[in-house]
A and B are shown apart, each in its own frame.
Chain A
Amino acid sequence: MKFIFKLVLISFSLIFYSSVNAETIKWLHIQGDSSPEFPNYLRAAEDFEAKTGHTVELQYLENEAFKAKLPTMLQSDDRPHIIQSWGGGVMLAQYEAGLLRDITDLVPQSYLDNVSAAASDAFVVKGTRIGFPRNVSQVTWWYNKDLINEAGVDVSKIVMWDDLLAAVKQIKEAGITPICLGGKDKWPVHFIWTHLHIRNGGKALFLESFENGGWDRPEYIKSGEQMLQLVELDPFQDGWLSATWPDQAGFFGDGKCAMAFMGNWMIGAQKANSASGEGLGIENMGIFSMPMTNGALGESTDTLGGISGWLVTKTAPDAAVEFLMHMVSSEYQNDDASKGAYIPVVLGADKLLTNPILSNVASNIGASQYHQLFYDQFLGPDIGRVVNDVSTDLAAGIINPEEAAQLVQESWEFNQ
């Protein structure tokens, strides 16, 4: 049946299909042409084409569109060969569905010796390598120095959660919007809630909950209560629930709010999405870590962030792996590091970080005993999205802290 059906269609299809060149590497990335790393993407592709004769086809999707489209895209025959990944449970689900390619034997040890082992191991599942790291990142509070000074806030004094609340109140009283937030995309909201989890619960409780459940324990309910303390100050910009992450970055870049809670990719994003196209200068921005909470079980050095990179999909040619090794190399990462595009994973490249904020982030991650990957990626496609939903509902005042914790637990149980 299936065969006949195909046969009938082939004759029609010839009109619509163009022939596919086996040496074309289809690379799907989420960094647009105004992002700081994009010039080196182009250069890496051109160099590789000149060197090998293969073709590299760059394909761009905006972050949210990428996440929406990827599940169906991976199942089609014209799936890209290289995709963006944040590791964790989402990657695991893709691996278990058989959508990724085992490239263990294609990557020589000599190559891996030049890459940070911690980052590199994030793309190995049960001894099988399925991808490459690109960068590491940390989520922190960002502030606009002018606006913070105008409100008379001293960020070095923000050590505890209550200090942050006091600062927000002070900024608000100065007539400045304290925090920009992209509520429509939801994951920017989940950073706040889950970083409070990291503070309140620490590493041990996370691992315990991940293995045996218990997402509704008091420590996590406490995170919700703390988040509500913040929400009650009405700190976010008007219409934040329908603002996207690029809106959030753009507003911050335009100086429409004093703070934002975001990963270090904020540097490039606030510039690219600002109305002027310039954003805030690096000298006018600063970061500080999520403050500690009373009775916290976690350490103040614990970090929330990502190890991002590239996955190789199941129908990718060997050339795709060659290209990744070519691209994730000192040739391009050194340059990106010196431009402050991201924190590189190639050994030695991090020494070239001249950007003070990125150096600061790099040393935070270096000092961290517990670098927790983004919850929404680490917990897998289903529970992760529930965490995003729940964080946003909590901030929107739709559910209370107990319900929020309970919903995550229910989703965890449903997925066992």
Chain B
Amino acid sequence: MFKNLKSFYMYLFLFFIAGIIFIPLYVSIVGGFKGIGDLRTNSLGLPTVWYIENYTGLLVDNKFWLFTWNSVLYAFGTTFLVILLGSMTAFVFAHMKFFGDKFLFNYFILGLTFPFATAILPLFLRVRDLGLLGSVWAVILPQIAFGLAFAIILFRGFFRQMPSELFDAAFVDGCSYSQFYFRFTLPLSTPIIATVAVINLVGSWNNYLLPLIMINSESYYSWPLGIMVFRGEYITDWPKILAFVSLTLIPAVVFFLALQRFIIAGLTGGAVKE
């Protein structure tokens, strides 16, 4: 009896927390379907009249898709290059001994302790002086640079655990370093590539500060900038804003549910082995 009561309290507690997580998401999604008056008096209930205009209006809005496309471009551009450059560098650190290798590795690792905000103004000047301000590279290049350190650590750790017999055998067969990298290392590294990809995709997709400072023209806005402009234009028209918010929620949740395993591995920093 006591045990049952205890587990009753436990479930009560867990469902209570789940409710606290769900309610904000729920009120946002249904809020997008409400009229402003309805929203004000009836925040928690279902809409008395369902307005779908807020959602459909966005879905036929070219800007909405443009912002989304730009974010895709930033995210995939960054991720592709971080994986490529990070794994190449990690490959060198994993398989080659050369003068200053330890020093160079530590040089990269130092990047982990550099908070991105510290250098935001000099970074702005660098991008400006390279003539890249307002272009896609203004977002992608700094994101790559700040994504490299962690990617290199993860890749190096993974490459080192690959059986060395494989490498020896390939080398005897006359396989060069670069051939080995493309033919064996990369294809065998899908789990770690997935982890690095998730970290960088999510990081770039959600990034706000960098595009905020680097991007000026609406045609290059990422969706976080777009949503903030939207918020600025429809200050108190909450149903419109909530519709936009909800539309960005849905792909995130679907993406998460579909790839949960990789995402958890990626976001818990790869530091914990699943």
Contact = CB atoms under 8 A, between A and B. Distances in A.
Interface of A: 2, 5-6, 9, 12-13, 16-17, 32, 59, 62, 64-65, 69, 72-73, 75-79, 244, 246-247, 250, 273, 275
A301 B4 CA distance: 81
Contact of A247 (B131, B135, B236): B236
Interface of B: 36, 73, 124, 128-137, 213-214, 216-218, 229, 232-233, 235-236
Contacts, number: 50
B235 A246 contact: yes
A22 B129 CA distance: 22
Contacts of B131: 6, 77
A2 B130 CA distance: 7
Contacts of B229: 62, 65
A69 B216 contact: yes
B216 A2 contact: no
A60 B244 CA distance: 20
B216 A76 contact: yes
A76 B134 contact: yes
A6 B131 CA distance: 8
A76 B131 CA distance: 8
A72 B217 contact: no
B235 A75 contact: no
A64 B231 CA distance: 12
Looking at chain A's contact residues, the main secondary structure is helix
Q: In this complex, which of B131, B133, B216 has the most chain A Cβ atoms within 10 angstroms of its Cβ?
A: B216
Contact of A72 (B36, B213, B235): B213
B130 A5 contact: yes
A383 B229 CA distance: 27
Contacts of A246: 235
Given A72-B124, A246-B235, 19 more contacts: A9-B132, A12-B137, A16-B73, A16-B136, A32-B233, A59-B218, A62-B229, A62-B233, A65-B229, A69-B216, A72-B213, A73-B216, A75-B128, A75-B133, A79-B216, A244-B235, A247-B235, A250-B235, A273-B235
Nearest to B37: A275
A75 B137 CA distance: 16
A79 B216 CA distance: 8
Contacts of B218: 59
Nearest to A17: B135
B247 to A, nearest CB: 21
Contacts of A5: 130
A13 B137 contact: yes
Contacts of A9: 132, 137
A266 B130 CA distance: 43
B41 to A, nearest CB: 15
A17 B233 CA distance: 28
27 contacts: A2-B129, A2-B130, A5-B130, A6-B130, A6-B131, A9-B132, A13-B135, A13-B137, A16-B73, A16-B135, A62-B233, A64-B232, A65-B232, A72-B124, A72-B213, A72-B216, A73-B216, A76-B133, A76-B216, A77-B131, A78-B216, A78-B217, A247-B235, A247-B236, A250-B235, A250-B236, A273-B235
Contacts of B233: 32, 62
A77 B133 contact: yes
A275 B133 CA distance: 38
Contacts of A275: 36
B126 to A, nearest CB: 10
Contacts of B214: 72
Contacts of B216: 69, 72-73, 76, 78-79
